[in-house]
Amino acid sequence: MRATVIYGERDIRLEEVPDPILSTGGDAIVRVVAACVCGSDLWPYRGVQPTTEPHRIGHEFVGVVEEIGADVTTIKVGDFVIAPFYDCDNTCINCRNGVSTSCLHGGWWGADDRLGGFADGAQGERVRVPHADGSLVATPAMPTDAQIPGLLTLADVMGTGHHAAVSAGVTAGSTVVVVGDGAVGLCAIIAAKRLGASRIVAMSRHASRQVVAREFGATDIVEERGAEGVAKIREMFDGIGADFVLECVGTKESMEQAVASARPGGMVGYVGVPTGGPIAMQPLFGRNVGINGGVASVRGYIEELLPEVLSGSINPGRVFDLELPLADVAEAYAAMDERRAIKVLLRP
Residues near a second copy, by CB under 8 A: 93-94, 97-99, 101-102, 167, 238, 240, 255, 263-265, 267, 270, 273-274, 276-282, 284-295, 297
Shorter beta-carbon distance to a second copy: residue 99 or 260: 99
Burial of 242 (0-12, 13-18, 19+ CB in 10 A): buried
**How many Å separate Cα 78 from the centre of its chain?**
26
> Closest approach of Cβ 61 to a second copy, in Å?
23
> Closest approach of Cβ 221 to a second copy, in Å?
24
Collect all residues with Cβ–Cβ distance below 8 Å to 267 and sequence separation of at least 6: 168, 169, 243, 244, 245, 289, 290, 291, 292
Instruction: Calculate Rg over the CA atoms of the chain.
Output: 20
> Closest approach of Cβ 53 to a second copy, in Å?
23
Helix (H, G, I), strand (E, B) or coil at 265: strand
> Closest approach of Cβ 93 to a second copy, in Å?
5
Shorter beta-carbon distance to a second copy: residue 79 or 247: 247
Collect all residues with Cβ–Cβ distance below 8 Å to 229 and sequence separation of at least 6: 203, 222, 257, 261
Shorter beta-carbon distance to a second copy: residue 140 or 239: 239
Shorter beta-carbon distance to a second copy: residue 23 or 94: 94
> Closest approach of Cβ 102 to a second copy, in Å?
4
C-alpha–C-alpha distance, residues 145 and 150, integer Å: 10
Amino acid present at 225 = R
> Closest approach of Cβ 74 to a second copy, in Å?
24
C-alpha–C-alpha distance, residues 298 and 308, integer Å: 15
C-alpha–C-alpha distance, residues 320 and 50, integer Å: 27
Shorter beta-carbon distance to a second copy: residue 242 or 346: 242
Q: Tally the C-alpha atoms within 13 A of residue 87's C-alpha that lie toward its C-beta.
A: 28
Shorter beta-carbon distance to a second copy: residue 48 or 327: 48
